[in-house]
Amino acid sequence: MQELLGSISRLDPGATLGLRVIACFDELILGNVNTRALLAAAAALAGCPAGVVRSGGGEPIVVSPRGEILPPPPDGCPEPDPELGHAVWLQRAGAAGPNDGLILERLSIALCARHGVAREQGRRGLGLLLDASVPLTERTATADALGLRGGDHYRVVLAPLFAVWDRHPAGPEDVISTRFGPLHAVLTPERYEPFQANPCGIGSAHQIAGLPRSLRSALTALRLSEPGSPPVCADAYGGLLDAIPAEEDDAPHADVAAVARIAGRPWGLDTVAALVEFQTVRETARALGVHHSTLQHRLTAIIDELGFAATEGLGRARLATAYLTHRVRTSRVMEAPPPEHQRRT
């Protein structure tokens, strides 16, 4: 299915999102994920909250695109279908989206599959393996059950559920819950066969005990990816990723605030990116296609805004950290792309 998605996206971009919906719920059904994760997936794909109410007088469940539980709709819920045993809906303001019907259909099928399974399954292997709060002995036992070798190094590969793959990396995979909603996770060896996916982040390599750190770096790498770009590997940034706050995105940070102000200039962010990437002012000017004096004028404005020498000593590391943190904080890579007809309007 993932290979088919890559082929279809090149031939008929307008059909891609619908196929992603089908592929997403196929994975979730195979994984037997819980009701909240199914609703979070539907909400992420639709870009609005999704809800379900079951027969028998149970409380309705409504989940946001970020996986948060929301209160029931104030005007009431649909009546459950007696044959299905539930009713599902999308809480969208305005007209329905072109894929809303398909999302609700696949959500309903997934819920039927989920609640038609008599046995109660516990937490699934990969999610447990990547959770730092789980005791190491339990994670090690899970790794053994997944066929992983204790002395080997592995990487976490992360992608949103709407990502397009043209080749799938080998290894255990699952849909895991994050603070950004459900994400597709694959565990690959440290040296993996090349693949293409967009958007996608690849974590740093660790042994079993360090896999939660690989997950953290993969999440940051994913948030640094851009539409149409190859997968972003955490190795490209080394220890800089460890300096980027993982949780408190809105915490005050003077250097990041300065970069945000610089980004407000037409040339700002491109110039900062080039200063981070290239070693000399001459190389930076050549990469930007501007005269040396023009770059010097920009550099003076940047240093005035930052309050430190951005091309010398620790100043270069400070600028790089602030620039990457700004990109992570302003990333929109977790947002599903609009349908093709909306992109053209």
pLDDT tens for each residue of 87-98:
999 998 888 888
- The 10 Å CB-count burial string (b at 16+, else e) for 202-233 is bbbbbbbeebbbbbbbbbbbbbbbeeeeebbb
Question: Do the beta carbons of residue 92 and residue 46 sit within 8 Å?
Answer: yes
Q: What is the CATH number of the domain that holds 320?
A: 1.10.10
340 and 14 in contact (C-beta within 8 Å)? yes
Residue 38 shares a structural domain with residue 82: yes
Residue 239 and residue 130 share a domain:
yes
Q: Are residues 103 and 187 in the same domain?
A: no
Joined together, the tokens standing for residue 5 give: 């998605």
* Residues in the chain where the model's pLDDT stays below 70: 1-17, 19, 30-31, 116-124, 245-250, 336-345
**pLDDT attached to residue 215:** 94
Any domain includes 343: no
| Domain assignment of residue 339, yes or no | no
Maximum alpha-carbon separation in the chain: 74
**25 falls within a domain:** yes
Q: Is 143 domain-assigned? A: yes
Show which of 81, 115, 149 is a domain's final residue: 115
Q: How far apart, in whole angstroms, are the C-alpha atoms of residue 23 and residue 38?
A: 13
337 occurs within a structural domain: no
- Based on the domain organization, do 138 and 227 belong to the same domain? yes
Same domain assignment for residues 234 and 132: yes
Residue at a domain's end among 56, 87, 115: 115
Per-residue pLDDT, 120: 34
258 and 233 belong to one structural domain: no
- Asked if 227 and 159 sit in the same domain, the reply is yes
Integer distance in angstroms from the first to the last C-alpha of the chain? 29
Residue 120 forms part of a structural domain = no
Looking at the structure, tell me whether residues 31 and 54 fall in a common domain.
Answer: yes
CB proximity list for 46: less than 8 A, separation 6 or greater: 65, 90, 92, 97, 99, 100, 103
Under 8 Å between Cβ of 97 and 339: yes
pLDDT on residue 119: 33
Task: Measure the CA–CA gap between 88 and 108, rounded to whole angstroms.
Answer: 7
- Are residues 138 and 236 both part of a single domain? yes
Domain count, the chain: 3
DSSP for residue 81:
B
So what's the pLDDT on residue 253?
85
Q: Which range of residues forms the domain containing residue 73?
A: 2-115
pLDDT given at position 340: 45
- What are 77-90's pLDDT values in tens digits? 888 888 788 899 99
What angle, 0 to 180 degrees and rounded to 10, lies between the N-to-C axes of helices 13-31 and 2-11?
A: 170
